Structure 1
Amino acid sequence: MYRIHMNFYGFPCAGRRLLLAFSGLCLAASLSAPYASAQNDAAAKPATDKAAAPDKVDLPPLPPDAHTEQSIQIDGKTLRYTVTVGTLPVRNTEGKLTGQVVYTAYTAEGPNRPVTFAVNGGPGASSVYLNFGAIGPKHLQVGNEGDSPSDPATLSDNPGTWLDFTDLVFIDPIGTGFSRSLVPQAEAKKIFYSTTPDIDYLSRAIYDWLVKNDRLASRKYLVGESYGGFRGPRITYYLQSQLGVAMNGVVLVSPYLNPTLEDDGDLSPIPWMVTLPSITAAHLEREHKLTPDAMQSVIAYTMGDYATALLKGRSDPATTQAMIQHVTEMTGLEPEFVKLSGGRLETQAYLREVFREEGKIGSIYDSNVTAFDPFPYAPEQRSNDPILASIIAPTTTAMVDFVTRVVGWKIDARYNALSYEVANDWDRGDDLRRGSVVQLREAVSADPKLRVLIVHGWNDLSCPFMGSLLTINQMPVMGDPTRVAVKEYPGGHMFYSRESSRVDLRKDVMEMYRQH
């Protein structure tokens, strides 16, 4: 399992790392074995008669759409808005109902308001993280050092919300939140839990919401986080080229964008270049020295002398020794640890090493968020990620209470903030390994007015900012060079858990929206 790590909700991101238990709102290591076992069991069983197999799953109907009115104070002004929890049907090419997508929409009165669609990642994650964590009008305090899963799941007004300049529609993919498949599991795996079908039906859900709400003429935006950042360019291009709906802008939050950056760390310097700046950023933050200027020096060294030293390898021992010494100074790690790693800092080894003296382990999403290591003498990490271990309970409690009690969408089904079943069933074929850079380039090329903002937390080792920076630096300039931009903020994968970063993100996104 060396060199494989699953991102914020489920797939490998750049850099050498180990498979964690549901690392990054993602898969448990143990899920790989049951998935393979299920495939083997299926292959061993005789084929069943199609006529005897059920063609649908009988479930009680979902409630009709529900609405409630709320308000929030933003910049000294009162904004009144409507919350809607509703459903969108998913049908196959024959018109058969195969699933139901549940969404949460926040809409306000006003002329020419744009609409922004939001989707998280995993796959297997609902949209509650972007909703209550980042951009919705209500905020839940989770994901920071010291936060506890048993803290009250109390919602407060969000000063970082985008609602004053855009309506917001949070979409839960099938199998997440209350969204559900209406076909047997084997069929659901084919039509929902795979790269291409996932993009197709989610794009159609956006189209259907626009038609249902008479919003096709509105300016339209998309925000995706982590694997939702993988979805973002593909959905944008599919809507643009297949369904005839053009996005005005896309925001990719800590995106899983370019999977092959992690390849061949024995030869290529890139996997180590991707993670070193985020490890250094975490150290600078602990020293109260993290600034954009300091990080520019780190980035310059990483793309210059560090990459050169790795490429030279044993042919230049003096350069290698100088690199190891510099990496030791940058990261604050023990010299012997850096020396024995050859200056190549494997993520999971780092997360155990950096807080070992305290008996703690750092989170892959923000290494400065820690938990006690319950198995400190094991050869590799056996516990869940510190952030993951603390956020599922409060996000689930907060969302179920909001939907059922506040909005009044009465349902007794289970809410999946993060679905192990979806993660286990997902098809990890070649199409996923191709990433979404091709679709990003094509969408930007086709629309000279499309703007893309890629945002990261400095400390994220799940989907490090350096991966996006290297990727975008290799894109051709198509018109205005600022149309595709990368920005970083203090924090980790969910940097928006910090109010200052969340508010700064709001300002940067608002500026992008104003350019249309």
Structure 2
Amino acid sequence: MKKIILILTTTLFLTLNADAKEESDKEIKQIPEAQMSVTEHKGKFNGTSIKYKVSAGDSHLLDAKGKPKANIFHIAYTRTDVKNSESRPLLFVFNGGPGSSSVWMHMGLFGPKRVVLPSDAEQVGAAPFNLKDNPLSLLDIADMVFIDPVGTGFSTPLGEYEGKAFWGVKQDAEILAEFVRVYITENNRWNSPKYLAGESYGTTRAGAMVKELQEGWGSIDLNGILLISSIIDFQTGDFTEGNDLPYVTFLPTYAATAWYHNKVPNKSNWNSLQEFVAETRDFALNEYATVLLKGALAKPAEIDNVVNKLHAYTGLKKQYITQSKLRINEFLFMKELMRDEGKVVGRLDSRYLGEDANIVVDQFEADPASYAIDGAYTAAIQHYFANDINVKRSEPYHVLSGEVFVNWNWLYGNSARSQGFINVTPFISKGMRQNKDFRVFVANGYYDLATPFFATEHSMNHHGIDLNRVTMKYYEAGHMMYIHEPSLKTLVNDIRAFILP
């Protein structure tokens, strides 16, 4: 009997181990092999002819047990015809969303090729699109790594990990900070000047990464961050009931938009957009903010003054302003400004106009600035992959993932005290205090209704930011100001001056 039990036990043990091995093998098979395409190129940037290589592919990051947890697809540009290349500035570049790949700043601003769109905010239409060499790229002075966060581009979770493990403010910053550490280790760039360059939510990511990279022992100190169309304190841009701050911070962009579309009643009273916006800022901070703060305590004369000036600065009807209780959110504004003409203005770039099937609803059916350009950037990156850097994959390249966005964890930390508006400005301020060489570059579009410039100014004027190390620049364009050719040229020159002061 004992012999039978021993045989059964042994058989069961071997069966369980075989099943475990099969499951383990299955897990290993599920992890695809990392792919990397390396190509050699020549180009002329800022008048300088250079040679460079492009390394486009995967980086498998490991967890504490040495198991693969995430694949980060990235495209790295490295100049090859210089000595001591490790001393060259190194930029880590990403866009926002959350859920966006790095295609926008790659194919619109920093890359050696860019898709050229009409500067006057006209719709682009269908292929063929204008993809050409970008002599304004920074490759003559800096190496660059374009990063696609998990769930975007070709980046994916690996093994037992799911996307939600990386889809959150802190989780995202942690995994991308780990990518930076691995990259500079594998490529001998620990002693290179290092910058983070983010756009939109990418600026939030940059702020969170400052904390992950610079705090604690074994830190990776940064030379600076570039914030393109910044949102680092979400209280300034979230029209949650009871939060009056966005009505103040969005007003100068409402005014700039009205100026652009000739909706300002007495536009000739001001000599320039800059003069007009400066007056609007002053009104927003003082009379307007005061009346909003007073609420029911505001006197009729104060309310009338605010209504009249809101009309003067935005062109919106006084009755509409009054019925809105002096509080008009971005979507109401975008729909109302040109409603009489059957037009809606864009959110990412309010220079763009669109038409909705229903004129009387309070929100547009889609952002005119988004659908005007999306197809061009999508086609451009796919064409570039196949024809220039030998990246040929059958799986979809996720330009912008809705799955990432809807599953995003906006809480920073685990306690209930973390609830509220996410604000990474204190991380940037602390980074400045702990690193005397840490500087901040901020690019603002006057016509950006997604991340308005006055909201960014508010963030920079609080939380102990050292304004002596902040470079603030403004462009007569929208969220992606590099679409506008004059703004692109000015922006690149401003960034060059920031990196090489």
Category of TM-score, reference length = shorter chain:
0.7 to 0.9
Question: Quick one: distance in 2 between partners of 1:149 and 1:210?
Answer: 41
Question: Quick one: distance in 2 between partners of 1:322 and 1:57?
Answer: 69
1:16 maps to none
The answer to whether residue 396 in structure 2 is matched with residue 414 in structure 1 is: yes
The answer to whether residue 152 in structure 2 is matched with residue 176 in structure 1 is: yes
1:88 maps to 59
2:476 maps to 490
Question: Quick one: distance in 1 between partners of 2:23 and 2:358?
Answer: 48
Which segments of 5 or more consecutive residues in structure 2 lack a partner in the other structure? 1-21, 414-419
2:347 to 349, 358, 364: 364
* Cα deviations by residue, 1:239-292 (Å, 9 ceiling, x for unpaired): 122552111011111122101235686655422111100010112223496533
TM-fit CA distance, 1:413: 1.4
TM-fit CA distance, 1:84: 2.1
1:454 maps to 442
Cα 1:280/1:391, change in 2 over 3 Å:
same
Give the letter for the 1:137 counterpart: P
Give the letter for the 1:509 counterpart: I
TM-score normalised over the length of structure 2:
0.85
Question: Quick one: distance in 2 between partners of 1:77 and 1:263?
Answer: 44
1:319 maps to 302
TM-fit CA distance, 1:346: 1.8
The answer to whether residue 116 in structure 2 is matched with residue 141 in structure 1 is: yes
TM-fit CA distance, 1:101: 0.8
TM-fit CA distance, 1:229: 0.5
Question: Quick one: distance in 1 between partners of 2:138 and 2:274?
Answer: 24
* Cα deviations by residue, 1:157-190 (Å, 9 ceiling, x for unpaired): 3354222221111011111111122236xx4234
- Aligned residues with identical type, % of pairs: 27
2:368 maps to 386
TM-fit CA distance, 1:448: 1.3
1:26 maps to none
Cα 1:59/1:392, change in 2 over 3 Å:
farther
1:68 maps to 40
- More deviation, 380-389/120-129: 380-389
- More deviation, 410-419/432-441: 432-441
1:281·1:290 contact (CA, 8 Å) conserved in 2?
A: no
Question: Quick one: distance in 1 between partners of 2:173 and 2:455?
Answer: 23
- Pairwise mapping of residues 130-279 of structure 1 onto structure 2 (< 5 A)? 130-142=105-117, 145-183=121-159, 187-242=161-216, 243-262=218-237, 269-279=244-254
Which segments of 5 or more consecutive residues in structure 1 lack a partner in the other structure? 1-50
Question: Quick one: distance in 1 between partners of 2:29 and 2:427?
Answer: 35
* Cα deviations by residue, 1:300-335 (Å, 9 ceiling, x for unpaired): 221122222333444311111011111111112233
Give the letter for the 1:510 counterpart: R
Question: Quick one: distance in 1 between partners of 2:71 and 2:412?
Answer: 27
The answer to whether residue 316 in structure 2 is matched with residue 333 in structure 1 is: yes
1:468·1:486 contact (CA, 8 Å) conserved in 2?
A: no
Question: Quick one: distance in 2 between partners of 1:306 and 1:124?
Answer: 35
The answer to whether residue 329 in structure 2 is matched with residue 346 in structure 1 is: yes
1:121 to 92, 96, 102: 96
2:10 maps to none
Secondary structure at the residue paired with 2:36? Answer: coil
- More deviation, 104-113/229-238: 104-113
2:429 maps to 441
- More deviation, 321-330/135-144: 135-144
TM-fit CA distance, 1:429: 3.0
Give the letter for the 1:461 counterpart: L
| Number of residue-to-residue matches in the alignment | 460
Give the letter for the 1:369 counterpart: Y
2:113·2:131 contact (CA, 8 Å) conserved in 1?
A: yes
Give the letter for the 1:297 counterpart: E
1:120·1:227 contact (CA, 8 Å) conserved in 2?
A: yes
Question: Quick one: distance in 2 between partners of 1:56 and 1:429?
Answer: 33
Question: Quick one: distance in 2 between partners of 1:430 and 1:232?
Answer: 14
Cα 1:412/1:328, change in 2 over 3 Å:
same
1:56·1:182 contact (CA, 8 Å) conserved in 2?
A: no
Cα 1:266/1:395, change in 2 over 3 Å:
closer
* Cα deviations by residue, 1:26-57 (Å, 9 ceiling, x for unpaired): xxxxxxxxxxxxxxxxxxxxxxxxx9898577
TM-fit CA distance, 1:419: 1.3
Cα 1:441/1:397, change in 2 over 3 Å:
same
Secondary structure at the residue paired with 1:123? Answer: coil
Question: Quick one: distance in 2 between partners of 1:78 and 1:276?
Answer: 45
Question: Quick one: distance in 2 between partners of 1:57 and 1:465?
Answer: 49
Cα 1:142/1:180, change in 2 over 3 Å:
farther
Secondary structure at the residue paired with 1:65? Answer: strand
Secondary structure at the residue paired with 2:373? Answer: helix
1:97 maps to 68
Secondary structure at the residue paired with 1:156? Answer: strand
Higher relative contact order (CA 8 A, sep 6+): 1
2:381 to 389, 399, 402: 399
TM-fit CA distance, 1:60: 4.7
The answer to whether residue 487 in structure 2 is matched with residue 505 in structure 1 is: no
* Cα deviations by residue, 1:463-515 (Å, 9 ceiling, x for unpaired): 1111111121123364xx32024322111111121121122122222222123
2:92·2:146 contact (CA, 8 Å) conserved in 1?
A: yes
Question: Quick one: distance in 2 between partners of 1:195 and 1:323?
Answer: 38
Question: Quick one: distance in 1 between partners of 2:116 and 2:49?
Answer: 23
Structure label with greater radius of gyration:
2
- More deviation, 121-130/301-310: 301-310
TM-fit CA distance, 1:73: 4.3
Secondary structure at the residue paired with 2:50? Answer: strand
Question: Quick one: distance in 2 between partners of 1:457 and 1:262?
Answer: 15
Secondary structure at the residue paired with 1:87? Answer: strand
Cα 1:175/1:492, change in 2 over 3 Å:
same
1:260·1:434 contact (CA, 8 Å) conserved in 2?
A: yes
